Structure 1
Amino acid sequence: MKLNQVLSIVNQVEKSKFISCLDRLCSDAAKNNKKLAKTIDNIDGQIKNASGSEITQLFNTVRDFFKESVKEQILMSSAQLNLLINLLSRDGNCVARISWIETLYAKEWKELSKLSKDLQNCIKQGSPESTFDRNKALKIYHACMSEAYFNDQKNNRDAKVTDDERSILNILANELELTTDECAAIEHLVDVIPETGVLDALNNLRDMGLVFVSKKRQEVFVPDEIVTLLNELQGKDLADKYILRILRTLTDAELSNALKAHGRKIRGISRAEKIQTIIHSGISGSKLLSDDIHNPEDTQNQRKERLKQLITDLEIDTDKLGTTLDERIGLIINSLSGATEKEFDCLSVSGFKQLLKTLEDHFPSMQAVLKEAFELEPTEIIDTEKLRSLSITPHDILYLLSNDEVKEVRDSMGLSKRGNPRFAILESFANATDKLIENYDLLARRDVNGLKDAGVEVIEADLGIKFEEVTKAILEVLELNIDEDLRKDLNTTKDKADIVISLSDNDIIIGEAKTCKNGDFAKYSTTSRQVKAYVNRAENQGKRVAQVLIIAPSFSDDFIESAEMDTEVNISLLEAHGLKLILDAFKSKRNPSFAPKLLTKGGLLKAELIAKNI
């Protein structure tokens, strides 16, 4: 969930710590940064009065200062905070109930303690003096960690690992080829992490401006921008879900190479176990791609050629492959880490929902797979809105399935066996949405036979939902901000708006998508009661409803007149074929620009004129 979205959910008190941290950094940085000083002046120098988008802009401006400040505070804090940071920055944990975070922490603590005991036994076993093996590497790192931690006590200071010492230990771990989880477990032997006190640790992170804690919801929010920053501080160049994509693409021999490079067992270990072991080990993406997956005798050219094939297998779109190994590694890492927005855009809201439903039909355990992979609560129902809030894309879901499972889905859908099966599945759902958009007017008029003739199979009971979903898809193409998170917050079991378009932090358009089988849409009294209930609920939550937009196949004269004369709400009417006309005009332009204010004129909108103004 983006920072701007989190700021719109939490109240002023709950975001006060973050704003205080930002205010302090802005004051210090503005003294030597004219651009930042001007930005602050534009909001009258009062960050606490700034909008969510302005606060996000300020954060991006002082991000480097924020990162340095957080780094210093974490180094001065306990090892417990580092364990919690590692937990909160993992895929799927950026929005979670406090009680669930406590559960995950307890599980993580037990696993870390178990690994610590195993490594302690390895250290005690030792190695022959003439050999250098994993046990000796563990012993050396343990000795250095102990010295780094306890040497402060010689000078009558609190024991801790300083920034300089941490940098040296990181280099040592890399040269000894120890994984992140092994380093954390050895540190746990030296500086034992408390098993309890998670709430206090969360409050410490909140005071640093790293998390938002909602008392009303009893939830913790970590914005995507903060997650990225925390990963950088931990030395993670790729999130686990992207490491998984790379591993799914590798051969069994390459997976074994990665395990051997870090002294892990490979005999009798299944492919699935190999993948999970590598992910949980915390091996960096760059290390994996530069050394671990290759045979020791492979030349630089052989390694570069392997990465070239990997770029093709991952279908990374690039103009230049890079001439060096490091350039190709950088290309893969940068492409994957910046893929989220693009991947959400590849499927409409409707397409994403249909993909998830199809996968659940093929794999009844899909919900359990998602919960296990992304550490979600067992009782939680996972839908596409929840996945979007966790920044889990359609690509992420498909890569949870093994290569054989994905091919099974592809074959059952009757898709071509050429190319990457995951991308073939995604393309099929994108095409299905395109077909519905092409036949948008038939969908609006509930013309089942016309849709069948056009090659679109939709059962009559689903026509209303499909029309709503395709309407959202069209508005998304027009680059309007369809705010599913806000819609979910505004809706109740009784009042459920179809569409919410965010114009700014507080200004919105509420949309209703209405199908009609015979004649013009004429139910004004029922529709007006609905939209007025939505408007009242939105205004009670501090939102300003700039317009209500009703989309239908066509409207009766009485409906149009009633809408124009209504003094309680501002209502715009748009016919379905008119919205399709606007979409076609938008797509035909080289540099199209659609202003939301074109939908706020009131009364029956003239689609032809709007299309000309794009």
Structure 2
Amino acid sequence: MKLSNVLSTVNQFEKSKFINFLDRICSEASAHDKELAKQFKNLDGQIKNASSGEVTQLFKLALPLYQKEVKSQLALSGAQAALLVNILSRDGNCVARVSWIEQLYAREWKQIDAQAKELQTFFTSTDKSDAYDEPKRLAIYHACLYEALHNDERVNREGKITDEERGILNVLAHKLDVTADNRVAIEHLIDPIPKTGVAECLNQLREIGIVFVSKKHQTVYVPDEIVALLHRIQSKELADKHLLRILRTFSDAELSNVLKNHDKRIRGVDREDKIDTVFKMGLSVSDILCKDMHNEQTALPERKDRLKLLIDDLQLAVNKLGSTLEERCSLIIQSLNSSAEHEFNILSATGYKSLFATLSQHMPKLPAMLKTEFELEPNQEIDVEKLRALAITPYDILFMLSNDQIKALKSEMCISRRGDARQVILESFADATDKLVENYEALARRDLAELKQKNIEIAEADIGVKFEEVTKAIFEELGLVVDEDLRRDINTAKDKADILLSLSEDDIIIGEAKTSKKGDFAKYSTTSRQVKAYVSRCEAVGKRVAQVLIVAPSFSNDFVESAEMDTEVNISLLEASGLKKILEAHKSRRNPKFSAKLFTKGGLLKADLIAKNI
């Protein structure tokens, strides 16, 4: 979830620690940062009263200093905080119940403790050995880490590893080829990680503005922006899901090359175990791409060509290829780190739901696979809204599956088009949405006969939901931001808004999509009560409702008059045929000029006039 959405979700008490931490950093930084000082002055120094958008803007301006302070605080927080941060910054854990985080922590602690005991036997057996093998290298790192932790005690100070010492140890680990899992296990041997106390440590992390904890729902939130910040502090070049995506495109020989370069066993190890071992080693992605995956005798031009092929395999849209090996490696990393928005936009909300439903139908175990892949709670319901909140894109799902599984899916779905199987599957769902958009008016009228004539099979009970989803798809094609995160946050079992369009960090349009089989839509009193409830819910989380927009096949005269005379809320009405006409005008222009403000005029909107002015 984005920071602005988290701020809108939690209450004032639950975001107070983050606000206080940001307030202190902004106060200190204002003296030498004119832009930040100006923004801070606009709030009169009262961040507590600022809107979610204003707080988010301040966070962006103060980010370098914020990151520096968080890094400093984490360095003083001990091994337990480091382990917890590692768990919270992993894919799928940015929104999770406290009890599930505690279970993940217990599982991780058990693995680290077992590995630490196994390494202990290494050190006792290598004391008299002269061989410079892995046990010897681990013993050297162990001795240096022990010295860094205990050298303070000689001058009567508490034993801690400073930020400078940590930097030196990281270089040493890299030169000695000590993998990330072994580093953690060795440190656990010297300075044991507490087995309990997760709740107290979460509060400690909350104090330094890393997490939000909802007491009511017992849920931990880590905004996407904070996850990215933590990755930078951890020197983590890519999110885990993106590293796995890369490894799954490698051949068996390339995976073996990576393992051989780090003295790991390859004989009798199957493909999945190779991927799992490389993933857990915590290697630099740059080193894997530039060096480890290639044979030693592979020439530079061949390595560059292999990265060019990898860019295609990962379906990355890059403007240039780069002339050097390092440039191509950097392009791959940058593209994956900034891919989320593009990957969500590749399918409309409707297309994503259809994709997930179809994949689940052909692969009933898909939800369970997602829970395993992204460490989701076993009893948690998996749907597209939940996946969006966890920043899990359609590409993440398809790249989670093996090439053989993808080919089998393509065949089962009767997709005959040639090309990359994953891309072809995605495009087929984009096409399905386009077909529904073409027949948007028939969908609005609930005209099953016409839809069937156009080879669109749909149950009558599903028409309302489909109309809502296609309306979202049209808004997205018009370049509007359909905010599914906010919609999920404000919806209750009783009040469920159809569509929320974000105009800015704080301003929104509430959209309602209404079908009608009997002709003109005429239920004003019922619709009015609904939208007013949604307005109240949005305002309660700090959003300003610029307009309510109702889309229907047509409206009765009484409905139009009632909407125009309503003094409590601003309502605009738009006929389905008019919205389709606006979309067609938008598509026909080379450089369309469309603004959501065209929907805020009130009353029955003149689609012809809007289409003409795009």
TM tier relative to shorter chain: over 0.9
Query: Which residue in the other structure is 2:528 paired with?
Result: 528
Paired with 1:580 and 1:556, the residues of 2 have a C-alpha distance of: 20
**Distance in structure 2 (CA, Å) of the matches to 1:343 and 1:134:** 41
What residue ranges of structure 1 are gaps of 5+ in the alignment?
none
Secondary structure of 2:391's counterpart equals: coil
In the alignment, the residues of structure 1 paired with residue 479 and residue 505 of structure 2 have an alpha-carbon distance, to the nearest angstrom, of: 17
2:46 maps to 46
Please say which of residues 390-399 and 128-137 is displaced more in the overlay.
128-137
Match of residue 192 from structure 1: 192
CA distance in 2, matches of 1:411, 1:217: 43
Matched, 1:423 2:427: no
Amino acid at match of 2:40: I
Measured against aligned partners, the alpha-carbon deviations of 1:325-369 in whole angstroms (never above 9, x if no partner) come to 110100000001110011011111111111111111111111111
2:154 is the alignment partner of 1:165: no
Please list, as runs of the form range in 1=range in 2, the aligned pairs for 1:67-216 lying within 5 A after superposition.
Answer: 67-126=67-126, 129-216=129-216
Partner of 1:564: 564
Residues 1:261 and 2:261 are matched in the alignment: yes
Partner of 1:29: 29
Tell me if structure 2 keeps the 8 A contact 1:411–1:417: no
Equivalents in 2 of 1:449, 1:101: separation in Å?
51
**Contact 1:127/1:133 (8 A) holds in 2:** no
Q: C-alpha displacement at 1:283, in angstroms? A: 2.0
Letter in 2 for 1:294: H
1:481 CA drift (Å): 2.8
Structure 1 residue 105 displacement after superposition: 0.5
- Partner SS, residue 103 of structure 2: helix
Compute the RMSD of aligned alpha carbons.
1.9
SS in 1 for 2:105: helix
Q: Which stretch shows the higher mean deviation, 378-387 or 416-425?
A: 416-425
Letter of the structure 1 residue corresponding to residue 550 of structure 2: I
Q: Distance in 1 between matches of 2:529 and 2:317?
A: 49
Measured after TM superposition, the shift of residue 306 of structure 1 is: 1.2
Shift of 1:491: 2.5
Moved more, 582-591 or 263-272: 582-591
Please state how far the C-alpha of 1:450 moved relative to its aligned partner: 2.6
What is the match of residue 483 of structure 2?
483
CA distance in 2, matches of 1:598, 1:274: 55
SS of 1:508 mapped into structure 2: strand
User: What letter is aligned with 1:414?
Assistant: C
Deviation at 1:526, TM superposition (A): 3.4
Map of 2:318 onto structure 1: 318
Contact 2:238 2:337 (C-alpha < 8 Å) held by counterparts: yes
CA–CA distance in structure 2, aligned partners of residues 154 and 417 of structure 1? 71
For residues 59-107 of structure 1, the C-alpha deviation after alignment (integer angstroms, 9 at most, x for no partner) is 1112111111111111112111100110000000011111111111111
| Aligned counterparts of 1:554 and 1:161: Cα–Cα separation in 2 | 69
Contact kept? 2:258, 2:288, Cα under 8 Å: yes
State the one-letter code of the partner of 2:308. K
Query: In structure 2, what is the Cα distance between the partners aligned to 1:567 and 1:35?
Result: 40
* Further displaced range: 206-215 or 417-426: 417-426
The amino acid across from 1:173 in the alignment is A
Provide the C-alpha distance between the structure 1 equivalents of 2:580 and 2:253, rounded to a whole number of angstroms: 52
What is the CA–CA distance in structure 2 between the aligned matches of 1:127 and 1:324, rounded to whole Å? 44
Residue 409 of structure 2 corresponds to residue 409 of structure 1: yes
Matches within 5 A, 1:461-472: 461-472=461-472
Aligned residue number for residue 495 of structure 1: 495
CA contact (8 A) 1:8 1:505 kept: no
Kindly indicate whether the alpha-carbon contact (under 8 Å) linking 1:440 and 1:576 is maintained by their aligned counterparts in 2. Answer: yes
Alignment of structure 1 residues 361-510 onto 2, 5 Å: 361-416=361-416, 418-510=418-510
Deviations along 1:183-223, one digit per CA (max 9) or x if unpaired, are 11111111110001111111111111111111122111111
CA distance in 2, matches of 1:440, 1:564: 26
Instruction: Report SS of the residue matched to 2:561.
Output: helix
Deviations 1:548-583 (A, max 9, x none): 221111122232223223344332210011111112
Is the 2:8–2:542 contact (alpha carbons within 8 Å) kept by the matching residues of 1? no
Question: How many positions carry a matched residue from both structures?
Answer: 614
Give the alignment's TM-score, normalised by structure 1.
Answer: 0.96
CA separation of 1:337 and 1:495: change in aligned 2, threshold 3 A: same
Residues 593 and 108 of structure 1, relative CA distance in 2, 3 Å threshold: farther
Equivalent residue number for residue 608 of structure 2: 608
Q: SS where residue 13 of structure 2 aligns?
A: coil
Q: In 2 relative to 1, CA 30–569 (structure 1 residues): closer, same or farther, beyond 3 Å? A: closer
Report the secondary structure of 1:62's partner residue: helix
Work out the percentage of aligned pairs sharing the same amino acid: 61
**Aligned-residue offset at 1:539:** 4.7
Q: Paired residue for 1:252?
A: 252
Contact 2:8 2:541 in 1 (8 A): no
Distance 1:314 1:507, change over 3 A: closer
Change in 2 beyond 3 A, CA 1:456/1:41 = same
Q: Bigger CA drift: 355-364 or 265-274?
A: 265-274
- Residues 290-349 of structure 1 show CA distances to partners (whole Å, capped at 9, x for unaligned) of 222111222222221211111121122223211111101000000011100110111111
TM-superposed deviation, 1:284 = 2.5
**SS of aligned partner of 2:563:** helix
Are the counterparts in 1 of residues 482 and 500 from structure 2 also a CA contact under 8 Å?
yes
Write out per-residue CA displacement over residues 407-464 of structure 1, whole angstroms, 9 at most, x where no aligned residue: 1111111224633211111111111112211221122122233334434333333221
* Distance across 2 between alignment mates of 1:542 and 1:167: 42
**What is the CA-CA distance between 1:506 and the residue it aligns to?**
4.8
- The aligned counterpart of 1:218 is 218
Alpha-carbon shift at residue 237 of structure 1 (Å): 0.1
What SS class does the counterpart of residue 112 from structure 1 fall into? helix
Distance 1:292 1:19 in 2: 44
Aligned-pair distance for 1:271?
A: 1.1
Give a deviation string over 1:254-294, Cα, whole Å, max 9, x none: 11111222232222222112212222222221121122211
Q: Secondary structure at the match of 1:509?
A: strand
Say whether the 8 Å CA contact 1:247–1:255 is kept in structure 2. Answer: yes
Indicate the larger mover: 196-205 or 549-558.
549-558
Q: CA deviation at 1:597?
A: 2.7
> Larger relative contact order (C-alpha < 8 A, sep ≥ 6)?
2
What is the distance in 2 between the residues matched to 1:407 and 1:198?
A: 43
Q: Following the alignment from structure 1 to structure 2, what is the Cα–Cα distance between the partners of residues 428 and 567?
A: 46
**Is the CA contact (8 Å cut-off) linking 1:416 and 1:424 kept in structure 2?**
no
> Structure 2: how far apart are the matches of 1:548 and 1:296?
63
Q: Distance in 1 between matches of 2:173 and 2:162?
A: 16
Once the 2 structures are TM-superposed, how far is the Cα of residue 24 of structure 1 from its aligned partner? 1.6
Question: Please, which moves more after superposition, 73-82 or 532-541?
Answer: 532-541
C-alpha separation in 2, matches of 1:547 and 1:68: 41
Deviates more, 1:290-299 or 1:203-212: 290-299
Do the aligned partners of residues 498 and 31 (structure 1) sit closer, same or farther apart at CA in structure 2, a change above 3 Å counting?
same
Query: The residue matched to 1:574 in structure 2 has which SS?
Result: strand
Comparing 78-87 with 494-503, greater Cα deviation is found at 494-503
Secondary structure of the residue aligned to 2:164 is: helix
SS in 1 for 2:546: strand
